[in-house]
Amino acid sequence: MDQQQLESKITETLERNRFGSFATVEGGRPKVRYMTVFNEGMTVYLVTSAKTHKVEELEANPNVALLLGFEQGGTQDEVQIEGTAKITRDEELRKKLWHDTFEQWLEGPDDPNYVVIEITPTRAEYAKSKHEVEVWEG
């Protein structure tokens, strides 16, 4: 599969699997947590509070990883993404991604602690139902 086809498969898998394991680096070690995943093409977005440890971790080290797709209820396609992340407070993006379920952590789309983690992939692995792994590099 060529890189354009592979990118399309990865994007489709991102769009159909809205939860993933997100890893940051804390003190030289990986730290993983489940997150709701949003995307526009290959760019991935995660919603969080500026008061969380993951924001501090990203400020110290922007290298991240994301794994999704094989969990129960998922598509059984697996995507592993490596990339760099930055914190954004882009107002338009925050309104676009806002969902009422976030109210358990944030006051609303205008909450000053509401931030978006924007991940720019540098490498991704795609596996269809755990078979042959294809590698995308950006």
Contact 116, 91 (CB under 8 A): no
pLDDT digits (tens, 9 = 90+) for 24-63: 999 999 999 999 999 999 999 999 999 999 999 999 999 9
Mean pLDDT of the chain: 93
pLDDT for 120 equals: 98
Contact 46, 38 (CB under 8 A): yes
pLDDT for 126 equals: 95
Q: Which residue has the higher pLDDT, 73 or 84?
A: 84
**Of 6, 21, 131, nearest to 69 (Cα)?**
21
Residue 74 has pLDDT above 60, yes or no: no
pLDDT for 75 equals: 59
Task: Quote the pTM value.
Answer: 0.92
| Beta carbons within 10 angstroms of residue 51's beta carbon | 11
pLDDT for 1 equals: 79
Contact 42, 11 (CB under 8 A): yes
pLDDT for 125 equals: 96
What's the rounded Cα separation, in Å, for the pair 21 and 74? 13
Q: What is the largest CA-CA distance in the chain?
A: 45
How far the first Cα of the chain sits from its last, in Å, is 15
